[in-house]
């Protein structure tokens, strides 16, 4: 009895210790399981997961953000960054090509929903056979994703860096439904066009918004290469980025369609109909868009999902180190900044993300604040990283049992 009591007390103490550093709102695996339980060992690893901020740390972060937001960029300059956004991103990819970011192999740990359900189950079995490998590494980290060249350049130019900004992408308008025009006029021609769109024969379709140089595209294609019926769309605001994807040796037009697209422009149609996508991947992209235009982008993307389809989101969280390192005069508006190369970035709260996707008619499946401690072991520097990770689903359509209910008529 004494042994059981001592064992219970030991487990309780260990649980309380971990809760001081680990969020209880999400599992440790596969979203990260390296927990800092002994602060004296902080420099033993590059990244620690599930960190909790003290009230003092939170207040200090708010003060730094308020301080670097006191001086705003002049309106004329802000207008230039909006109008010439494609120029800045094309210059980015012209300079860095495919060398800035590493492939996002962590995607399948964070977002198993990318894969069709049967393939997802297979990947789960594969991962379960290698528990040590999964549990001992970070599933996502700024340093692991960025190449050495990219990390050095980003620190020099942007004061603290970014993880995986892959393009300044915007939104498009759906094609008109067949019923919009006069009955019988061009219906056959329109139907033929819709039936022959890229990936029309696929049974499982993914869209990555803001594909950049393909750091998500090619890991996904590699996994799906032996999965019949799958098709991947990818788009970016920067034509240079799309060219990098298309010129890659692993690009296969039979399994993937890359295209230039401005997701903020509702006049531009997508190269496929609405409600056909199983998954939309929106990773470090929405933050590059002006806050006034974000809701419209999310609304339009939601229309592309089929009922039951999933939108997977990851982006910068409020008071991330990248936000706090901005100098005065780089702030465009509240929590919205411009980097040294002219690209822009916004820092979200969990509630903002939830409100946007809910307004678009999507249901929350996951919405987390991912706080991690990144350290420079050589310089003995600690950096608080904050990201938002979310999953939102388009509700399934429930059939009406009463035919008269569908027409709204009752006797």
Residues in contact with 331: Cβ distance below 8 Å, sequence separation at least 6, in sequence order: 68, 69, 70, 71, 72, 73, 337
207 with 277: CB under 8 angstroms? yes
Q: What is the pLDDT of residue 198?
A: 92
Query: What would the mean pLDDT of 316-326 be, rounded to a whole number?
Result: 96
Most confident of 142-146, 150-154, 196-200: 196-200
Q: Provide the 10 A C-beta neighbour count for residue 162.
A: 22
Averaged confidence pLDDT in the chain:
77
pLDDT score of 29 more than 90: no
- Strand 204-209 and strand 230-236: the pairing is parallel
270 with 304: CB under 8 angstroms? yes
Q: What domains are there in the chain, each with its CATH number?
A: 39-176+200-396 (3.40.50.150)
Does 265 or 29 have the greater pLDDT score? 265
- Give all strands of the β-sheet with 381-393 in edge-to-edge order: 47-48, 363-376, 381-393, 305-316, 277-283, 204-209, 230-236, 256-260
Query: What would the mean pLDDT of 255-263 be, rounded to a whole number?
Result: 95
Report pTM.
0.75
Q: What is the pLDDT of residue 5?
A: 52
Q: What is the pLDDT of residue 42?
A: 72
Element (H, E) at 208: strand 204-209
221 with 252: CB under 8 angstroms? yes
pLDDT score of 169 more than 90: no
pLDDT digits (tens, 9 = 90+) for 218-257: 999 999 888 889 999 999 988 888 999 999 889 999 999 9
- The span from the CA of 285 to the CA of 168, in Å, is 7
Query: What would the mean pLDDT of 40-66 be, rounded to a whole number?
Result: 84
Cα 363 to chain centroid distance, Å, stands at 17
């Amino acid at each position: 009895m004494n042994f059981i009591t001592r064992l219970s007390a030991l487990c309780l103490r260990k649980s309380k210790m971990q809760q001081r550093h680990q969020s209880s709102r999400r599992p440790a695996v596969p979203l990260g399981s390296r927990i800092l339980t002994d602060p004296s060992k902080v420099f033993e690893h590059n990244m620690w997961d599930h960190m909790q901020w003290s009230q003092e740390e939170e207040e200090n972060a708010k003060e730094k953000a308020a301080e670097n937001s006191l001086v705003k960029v002049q309106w004329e300059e802000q207008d230039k960054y909006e109008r010439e956004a494609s120029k800045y991103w094309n210059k980015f990819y012209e300079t860095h090509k495919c060398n800035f970011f590493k492939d996002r192999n962590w995607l399948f740990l964070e977002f198993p929903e990318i894969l069709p359900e049967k393939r997802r189950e297979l990947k789960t079995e594969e991962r379960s056979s290698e528990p040590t490998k999964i549990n001992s590494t970070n599933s996502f980290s700024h340093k692991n994703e960025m190449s050495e060249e990219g990390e050095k350049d980003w620190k020099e130019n942007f004061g603290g860096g970014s993880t995986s900004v892959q393009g300044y992408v915007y939104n498009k308008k759906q094609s008109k439904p067949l019923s919009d025009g006069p009955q019988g006029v061009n219906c056959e021609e329109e139907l033929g066009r819709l039936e022959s769109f890229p990936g029309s024969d696929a049974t499982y379709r993914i869209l990555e918004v803001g594909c950049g140089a393909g750091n998500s595209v090619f890991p996904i294609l590699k996994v799906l290469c032996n999965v019949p019926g799958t098709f991947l769309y990818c788009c970016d605001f920067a034509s240079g980025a799309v060219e990098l994807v298309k010129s890659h040796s692993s690009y296969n037009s039979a399994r993937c369609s890359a295209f230039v697209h401005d997701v903020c422009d509702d006049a531009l149609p997508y190269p496929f109909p609405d409600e056909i996508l199983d998954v939309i991947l929106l990773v470090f992209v929405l933050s590059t868009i002006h806050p006034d235009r974000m809701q419209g982008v999310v609304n339009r993307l939601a229309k592309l999902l089929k009922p039951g389809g999933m939108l997977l989101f990851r982006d910068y969280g409020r008071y991330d180190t990248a936000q706090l390192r901005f100098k005065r005069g780089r702030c465009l508006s509240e929590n919205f900044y411009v980097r040294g190369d002219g690209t822009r970035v916004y820092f979200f709260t969990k509630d903002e993300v939830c409100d946007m996707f809910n307004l678009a008619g999507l249901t929350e499946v996951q919405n987390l604040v991912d706080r991690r401690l990144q350290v420079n072991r050589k310089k003995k520097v600690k950096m608080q990283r904050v990201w938002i990770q979310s999953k939102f689903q388009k509700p399934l359509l429930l059939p009406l049992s009463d035919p008269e209910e569908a027409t709204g008529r009752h006797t």
